[in-house]
Structure 1
Amino acid sequence: MQSTSPGYSPSWFKSSHSGGNTTECVEAARLGEATAIRDSKAVDRGSLLFRPTSWAHFVSALQDGRLGS
């Protein structure tokens, strides 16, 4: 996995599923074998880190409507 040490800056990108409204923006970054997500309005609050299997389960649950909106 890539370093998250000081000086390292991951390449964040806006999720294609973020709403057209600029107040609903989720950003993601690929960190080697993990995926990080964060709220673009509150980047100082940190991010969530998912391993590949956990990320796949999370995305599947979203697609299947198993998570509340």
Structure 2
Amino acid sequence: MTAHPRFDPATAVWFKASYSSGDQNCLESALVPGVVPVRDSKLAEESPVVLFSPTSWSSFITELKSGN
């Protein structure tokens, strides 16, 4: 995977998923134009970051909501 030229995980403002529970079993994402970075909230700064294209992320969320 190649790094995104406008994304630095250390300076990104991360937020938890809206459906996350208080036990930290959730994902975090950051608002970055052209990419959707996602990481594990339990690991925070130590978490690997997965970068999705906006189209791929949207498809993934659509499938989750459909129960597939």
Return the TM-score normalized by structure 2: 0.76
Sequence identity, in percent? 34
1:50 equivalent among 45, 49, 52: 52
What corresponds to 1:9 in structure 2? 11
What corresponds to 1:29 in structure 2? 30
What are the superposed Cα offsets for residues 5-32 of structure 1, whole Å, 9 maximum, x if unpaired? 58x511100110112x323121111221
Tell me the matched-pair count: 64
| CA-atom RMSD in angstroms | 2.1
The residue type equivalent to 2:7 in the other structure is: T
In structure 2, distance between residues paired with 1:34 and 1:5: 12
Structure 2 regions of 5+ residues with no counterpart? none
In structure 1, distance between residues paired with 2:8 and 2:29: 18
Structure 1 regions of 5+ residues with no counterpart? none
